[in-house]
Amino acid sequence: MVRLNVNGTLREVEAEPDTPLLWVLREQIGLTGTKYGCGIAQCGACTVHLDGTAVRSCSVPVSAVAAEQKIVTIEGLSAGADHPVQKAWAALDVPQCGFCQSGMIMASAALLAQNPHPSESEIRAEITNICRCGTYNRVLAGIQRAAESGQGSRG
Amino acid sequence: MSIDTRPGSAPAPAPSPVRPSRRGFLAGAAAAAGGFSLGFHLPGTGEAIAAPAGAAPEVNAWVVVRPDETVVIRIARSEMGQGTLTGLAQLAAEELGCDWARVTTEYPTPGQNLARARVWGDFSTGGSRGIRESHELVRKGGAAARMMLIEAAAQGWGVPASSCRAEKGVITHAESGRTTTYGSVAAEAAKLPPPKDVVLKDPKDWTIAGQPLKRLDTRPKLDGSQIYGMDLSLPGMLNAAIRDCPVTGGTVKSFEAEAVSGMPGVKRVVQVGETGVAVIADTFWRAKTALDALPIVWDEGPNAGVSSASIAAVLREGLDAPEAYIGNKAGDVEAALKGAERVVEAVYSVPFQNHATMEPMNATARWTPERCEVWTPTQNGEAALAATAEAAGLSAAKCEVYKIHLGGGFGRRGATHDWVRQAVLIAKEMPDTPIKLIWTREEDMTHGRYHPITQCRLRAALDRNGDLTGLHMRISGQSILAAIMPQRMVNGRDPVTFQGLNPSGPEATLGYAIPNILVDHAMRNPHIIPGFWRGVNMNPNAIYLECFMDELAHAAGQDPLAFRRKLMANHPKHRAVLDAVADKIGWSTKPPEGVARGIAQMMGFGSYVAAAAEVSVSPDGKLKVHRIVAATDPGYALNPQQIDAQIAGSFVYGLSAALHGACTVKDGRIEQTNFDTYPVMRLDEMPAVETIIMPSGGFWGGVGEPTIAVAAPAVLNAVFAATGKRVRDLPLANTDLRRA
């Protein structure tokens, strides 16, 4: 039995200890907003927050997460998609296919939480998620817009 | 173990019953109330379809208006990020005259299309054809519905329909001042016969189409509620992971199921056709874990010795082969070359590329001896249905496919449905159990339908003025059609190979008048299966043609823009986009210190495109693309802000391939297995992209693909301007750009 704090709720799940957090979230807990894209921490589609820090959940074995650590997924980032990053994304129509965007949004939110006013070069260096549709310029503009809103550091 | 634990994941009733079949629709994202609503009936689960609150009969196949004035527009093509769902809805809504704020969408199923004499036309979503080939059908659907709604109101009032008009879903009879709404008369309108003569609006009168409207499908992509094929959950569903023979043409020799059958969650280990083995388990992770531990012995077949080097040798031979299919011929190119003041020659090559959609291939299938159903992200629901029926051993009428939103398509999910076939074959092993097959990234990377491998030898004749008098382009390499659509070949020839190099036509015409020209193709087909990869053959052809034009300009001592323009007098639309990017990037002015420029143009998918790039290359050989200017003339611009998104995205797809991407072959198999060995562009490399959308009217061109073709040559020509190094062997990573 594995105990996890996911989006503020304590969950108990049956999973082998080496099961990646990603698949526990998706298959045992049913939170499919966190995506599988590569399984080797390359693409970032599986990004979630672990105690406020962006992690690639495909490469975090569930046994490495303690019950008191706070996991936040895209479903728990905000109520009503009103996190400044989500609002900026909506304003700029950022997503295309959208598959990478949960990870993009979670990575961006974590960046702003730690660095509320990142420079363009800091954004380019920190946001390493892959998008194949090619939304990068709107992702960049979205992060800048969220930062300008002055609420970007909201966790 | 609980698999289906999501709140709200129980199948919802269909949003609207549909005549004649009550089999439901898959709700489009925007139609999904509460974020997630899968509107399909699940036969065998004992759940009746209750008519949902607010149900209304369709006005016609395209339009449903509910009593609450919600307008549901049916979309036949697949949304994979390109915005076709919003664009097609704009077209229907424009003619319908409804309130855009109340528009939602839904997908009809391929089975319904089949049962209704293909009332929605072609489901195929590729070749940037979604809008340009269905706009008339969709617009007529919207216009006919408007006429029926007005007629219903007019009959109710006892006045002629011609005395009524409709705007934003409100019908007005001006003389009496009476008004009613679409939602109020929809049920009566549904009983009327469809109008015979439907007149469409002049695009200059558009108020919804042509506007930079927001996408309809954004909201659920912001909070994780958008359901992709991979996210599907059905009651009692199991999961499968598959390994197909790593060498195309090989087969399964043996596998030791008992070695893994006791592992957690494992239900079955099954062979899939002749070539694959799958593990079925309660969760995907457990299926994958067991598959990784499963000993499999392959018979790798006749292709096990093939390598990139052996393929390249075959293609090189084709460069000089005496026989080739002709794509464009005028004058006498050999005579021109013989009589030339100067002959310039170069050989270019492009490698295989994987589509690398962010969502790997997946499908969920349930099979019984009487019926087979598949839920899958597909660019062509009808082709998916055909693949389902074939694998199921049932008629298409006994099968159904429910299209799920795609996590990227780019051509991979359209022409071949190899993963659907696999899913059905797996489901047949456990009748009446829904099984979701997901490919790992490694399976996806090594079992693609690759951007075809080709080489090209170009020979040009320049006269004493440096003018181009003759050009021979010999393409040697793979034909997509030969491998996956042989029925579309013409006397053994693959016309797609010549995309962008055709002498005439509305689709993909060469923009230069060259008095003596020969473009021909020596078809050489390696065993690696090719496919339509976003941009298709226009991409390599643009690299070959437009980089070589740059070479010729330099050889002639002429400005690359001026050299091209002299050949474009008969091609004003090609020239207009080229001029537009040249003007905007400031071609006639000196670039910033340390920065060099390149330019390229092409026509394909019915649209005219050009790009100009500004780059710099550091002394240690590192390329930086600073700025891109891109122009498109698609005839009509249905949603300019979405076109802008497609153009910017085209540089990610095109430059990922040009700078980094290559799928190489060793021991008969693709060597790259994931994004660590198949790098793609990320935000750190993304240049600023300034778009110029210049619709000239009178034709409908696509926007999702054409710009990809000019991305690479514009940048590679700028790299030459910066370094004096000509990149002919793609990707650019193969060329050392360090200063000597």
Q: What is the pLDDT of residues B585-621, one digit of tens each?
A: 999 999 999 999 999 999 999 999 999 999 999 999 9
pLDDT number for residue B128: 77
Which of A58, A99, A104, A120 would you mutate first to test chain B, the one with the most B CBs within 10 A? Answer: A99
Interchain CB contact of B438 with A (< 8 Å): yes
Helices (H) and strands (E) in chain A, counts: 5, 5
Check if the beta carbon of residue B448 is closer than 8 Å to that of residue B675: no
Q: Does the pLDDT at position B672 exceed 50? A: yes
Q: Exposed (0-12), middle (13-18) or buried (19+): which is A16, by Cβ within 10 Å?
A: middle
Residue B55's pLDDT band, with cuts at 50, 70 and 90, is: low
Nearest Cα residue in chain A from B5: A30
Verify whether the Cβ–Cβ distance B5 to A28 is below 8 Å: yes
Task: Name residue B491's amino acid.
Answer: N
Question: How far apart, in whole angstroms, are the C-alpha atoms of residue B249 and residue A73?
Answer: 42
Closest-CA residue of A relative to B221 is A98
Give the 3-state secondary structure percentages of chain B, helix then strand then coil, rounded to 5: 30, 25, 45
Contact B225 A40 (CB under 8 A): no
What class does CATH assign to A84-148?
A: mainly alpha
Q: With beta carbons less than 8 A apart as the criterion, state whether B497 and B475 touch.
A: yes
Using a CB–CB cutoff of 8 Å, tell me whether B10 touches chain A: no
Question: Sign (positive/negative) of CA torsion B224, B227, B228, B233?
Answer: positive
8 A C-beta contact, residue B436 and residue B239: yes
Query: Is B226 in Cβ contact with A98 (below 8 Å)?
Result: yes
Average pLDDT over chain A reads 96
* Exposure class string for B291-317: b at 16+ Cβ within 10 A, else e: beebebebebeebeebebeebbebbee
Q: Which two tokens stand for residue A84?
A: 């400044």
- Whether B371 has a pLDDT exceeding 80, the answer reads yes
d(C-alpha B672, C-alpha B654), whole Å: 19
Q: Is the pLDDT of residue A155 over 60?
A: no
Contact B653 A30 (CB under 8 A): no
Question: Of all residues in chain B, what percent carry a pLDDT higher than 70?
Answer: 92
- For range B356-378, the mean pLDDT: 98
Which amino acid, residue B348?
Answer: Y
Start and end residues for every CATH 3.10.20.30 domain found in chain A:
2-76
- Cis, peptide link before residue B431, omega less than 30° from 0: no
The predicted pLDDT at position B264 comes to 98
Q: Indicate the residue of A23, A31, A37 with minimum beta-carbon distance to B358.
A: A37
Chain A: residue nearest B685 by CA? A124
pLDDT of res. B238 = 98
Of B81, B360, B684, the CB nearest to A97: B81
- Nearest Cβ partner for A97 among B9, B406, B689: B406
Neighbours of B490 (CB within 10 A): 9
State the smallest CA–CA distance between residue B689 and chain A in angstroms. 8
Between helix B706-723 and helix B640-655 the angle, nearest 10°, is 50
For residues B487-498, average pLDDT: 96
> Distance from B224 to chain A by nearest Cα, in Å?
4
3-state secondary structure B687-739: CEEEEEECCCCCCCCCCCCHHHHHHHHHHHHHHHHHHCCCCCECCHHHCCCCC
User: Which pair of structure tokens corresponds to residue B127?
Assistant: 């070749």
Residue B456: HSE in the Cβ half-sphere, 13 Å Cα cutoff: 29
User: How does residue A153 score in pLDDT terms, banded at 50, 70 and 90?
Assistant: low
Domains and CATH numbers, chain B: 52-221 (3.30.365.10), 229-301+361-438 (3.30.365.10), 308-353+450-734 (3.30.365.10)
Say how far apart CA A114 and CA B283 lie, in whole Å: 35
3-class DSSP state for residue B267? strand
Of 3.40.50.2000, 3.40.50.720, 3.10.20.340, 3.10.20.30, which CATH number belongs to A2-76? 3.10.20.30
Residue B680 is predicted with a pLDDT of 98
The pLDDT tens digits for B220-259 are 999 999 999 999 999 999 999 999 999 999 999 999 999 9
The mean pLDDT of B39-65, rounded to a whole number, is 58
User: Looking at B110-114, B356-360, B574-578, which range is the least confident one?
Assistant: B110-114
B489 vs B46: which has the higher pLDDT: B489
- From chain A, the residues in CB contact with B680 under 8 A are 130, 132
Nearest in space to B133 (alpha carbons), one of B707, B700, B642: B700
Q: pLDDT grade, residue B13 (50/70/90)?
A: very low
Name beta bridge partners: B117: none
- Mean pLDDT of the residues in chain B: 92
Residues A27, B3: C-beta atoms closer than 8 Å: yes
Q: What is the DSSP string of B46-74?
A: T---PPPTT---EEETTEEE-TT--EEEE
Query: CA distances (Å), B690 to each of B586, B642, B648, in order?
Result: 13, 14, 8
CATH 1.10.150.120 domain range(s) in chain A? 84-148
Gap between the Cα atoms of A44 and A104, Å rounded: 7
Question: DSSP E strands: which ranges in B193-331?
Answer: 238-244, 251-255, 266-272, 276-281, 296-299, 325-330
The answer to whether B433 touches B366, Cβ cutoff 8 Å, is: yes
Overall average pLDDT of the B356-379 stretch:
98
Confirm or reject contact between B360 and chain A (CB < 8 A).
yes
- Amino acid letter for position A2: V
Q: A102-116, A129-143, B122-136, B431-445: which range is least confident on average?
A: B122-136
The confidence band for B48, taking pLDDT boundaries of 50, 70 and 90, is very low
Q: What's residue B229's pLDDT?
A: 97
List the structure tokens of B651. 């540089």
- CA B620 to chain CA mean position, Å: 37
Q: CB distance B407–A99 less than 8 Å?
A: yes
B292 touches chain A (CB under 8 A): no
Identify which of B220, B228, B649 has the shortest CB distance to residue A133. B649
Cα(B27)–Cα(B40) distance, integer angstroms: 8
Q: B238-244 and B435-438 as β-strands: parallel, antiparallel, unpaired?
A: parallel
Q: Give the model's pLDDT for residue B325.
A: 98
A138: chain B residues, CB-CB within 8 Å: 645, 648
pLDDT for B739 = 85
Residue B57: per-residue pLDDT: 87
pLDDT tens for residues A48-70? 999 999 999 999 999 999 999 99
